[in-house]
Chain A
């Protein structure tokens, strides 16, 4: 069961990392568009 638990933990950590990267990339795209589209 311990092995299963750590496999589950690895799955959660990996999913978080993928989801986190998606959030970060979205923010960077917004940054770039801000840089070109706004007056300031």
Chain B
């Protein structure tokens, strides 16, 4: 036993490391197990359910070049994530619980890899066990573990920690061939990590810190060079790929006026960012105030909040540097400097659409978990020293108390992501000044209106209030206009809907396919335009949507419906087929295709389409399904070949 091991002598050392690891992994899995009953929410609709690219495995190679971005593939700048989502979809379909099980599995995998990395570095049992257990149940992980479309954080951490572990193993390998193979493995894993989220390149810095500070005595030597080069090569390759494809580290556009950094400048954004990062630290250690949404307006460097946050963070950094310099408390120095380094990529130095989000703390929390675990283990030892006659298990009391607090709050925080309405209700409560939350809530009220909206005035009033508040809060943003447009469309006020959709488009709506498709649809019903103008507008918007968004099932389904209504049967059939291929789960597209065949008098073809999709139509709206079946029965009756008279 090393000197550091004896320093942490406690009940942990009496359990086999395998049993300990199994227990820690079980605990991490159990805490997030309830999320298996949750819906797909937030960006899951865009990146999983409606992402036609996932249904086209043959196009996977496009992710390596600029074409995926040009075709508006969701998250095209994260090739590992998109490839993983494609594989998940192909194997698991769209059942929410299966994707949530993958998320929990990924998180448990990250916990295991964190334990493996720390063990490889020579950390004592108590410390790697406590760190992994704490990281596994942290409440701030509720968002990335619960929302399927945030797999990027889990993948980046998993592949990244795997890369660090393999790079360390390369240094311990006895044969040259094994050393080189492991170094290549570290390169590939780091490329996969950075391909999931570029922030993972900061893990190379964590490896340098961990090896340089030698908190558990493993010296860095020439044999570590191949592993280190492997990590650098992997991170460098992905950085180069990003620079070549996107022209910069940030894929969000250096001149996009919608981004806070572009709109308000670096100084004001960083002033707020200081407060945000102190907030992250508090939320990781004491997880109160977690939210799916934050309103973070830019600030000045002279504001008291900025000064206080800056002083606290600079003080922590100075303490970490001093510890590293003097080789005192190297574990805490590693935790402090590691957390700062891991937070740097998402610290708003580069343009980001959200200044703050819980998921952005997933990587930095690796280092914080290590520091916090070290303090809790030390507190347990101090407790034991005060009462030497007590049972040895009492030394675990501080850690267990923290595990229970974090785990319970993790389950409480995760429930916000159970459904979309729950999510945006919680967002509104936590961030009442969020235009996005008001716009989203307004849209959900509008979507809940049935075919005759006039019968539900309270729902209209609620939707309208949220849309108006959103417009007041952010008059130049697109979402408040989308909210108004959807409400007007639900009320069948086509002219107003058209005007609001057009405003949303002008305001720089992200994922334009939604607005272009909506504009195409409402254009055809505008009473203020002559018929030829409506037709021309509808066709133009529909064509634009499918040209710019070739993987959008929504764009194809809308274009198909418009051509169907305009009597262009051949084109409509072609577009329905493409929409179905891009999103085979859409029963409404299948029913529309059946109706197209019926309109053409092809009752037998309609019957064949219906029979081919029996399973899918089980999930269809019963009223619509019965309507189409009745039409088919009528058609089969009316269009049957005439019977010949027996005497003819």
Contact = CB atoms under 8 A, between A and B. Distances in A.
Contact of B14 (A1, A18, A34): A1
Contact of A40 (B403, B409, B462): B462
B429 A34 contact: yes
A1 B27 CA distance: 18
B407 interface: yes
B31 A1 contact: no
Interface of B: 11, 14-16, 19-20, 23, 26-27, 30-31, 34, 137, 393, 396, 400, 403-405, 407-413, 415-416, 422, 425-426, 429, 441, 461-462, 465-466
B27 A9 contact: yes
Contacts of A34: 425, 429
A20 B114 CA distance: 25
Interface of A: 1-2, 4-6, 8-9, 12-13, 15-24, 26-27, 30-31, 34, 39-40
B283 to A, nearest CB: 15
B506 to A, nearest CB: 27
A21 to B, nearest CB: 8
Nearest to B421: A31
A23 to B, nearest CB: 2
Nearest to A19: B408
Contact of A19 (B20, B30, B411): B411
Given A8-B396, A24-B412, A2 B26 contact: no
Contacts of A13: 26-27, 30-31, 407
Contacts of A20: 31, 34, 407-408, 410-412
A2 B27 contact: no
Contact of B404 (A5, A6, A19, A30): A19
B404 A12 contact: yes
B411 A12 contact: no
A8 B400 contact: yes
B31 A16 contact: yes
Contacts of B26: 9, 13
16 contacts: A4-B393, A5-B19, A5-B20, A8-B393, A8-B396, A8-B400, A13-B407, A17-B411, A19-B407, A19-B408, A20-B408, A21-B411, A23-B411, A31-B425, A34-B429, A40-B465
Contact of B408 (A1, A4, A22, A31): A22
Given A5-B23, A22-B408, A16 B465 contact: no
A1 B11 contact: yes
Nearest to B412: A23
B407 A12 contact: yes
Contacts of B19: 2, 5
Contacts of B425: 31, 34
Nearest to B415: A24
A40 B461 CA distance: 7
Contact of B403 (A5, A16, A17, A24): A16
B82 to A, nearest CB: 33
B366 to A, nearest CB: 21
A6 B27 CA distance: 10
Contacts of B462: 40
Nearest to B461: A40
Contacts of B400: 8, 12
Contacts of B405: 19
Contacts of A26: 412
Nearest to A26: B412
Given A9-B27, A26-B412, 18 more contacts: A5-B20, A5-B23, A8-B393, A12-B27, A12-B407, A13-B31, A16-B137, A16-B404, A16-B407, A16-B411, A20-B407, A20-B408, A22-B408, A23-B413, A24-B415, A31-B422, A40-B461, A40-B466
Contacts of A40: 441, 461-462, 465-466
Contacts of B16: 2
Contacts of A30: 429
Given A27-B416, A40-B466, A9 B23 contact: yes
A24 B465 CA distance: 28
Contacts of A6: 23
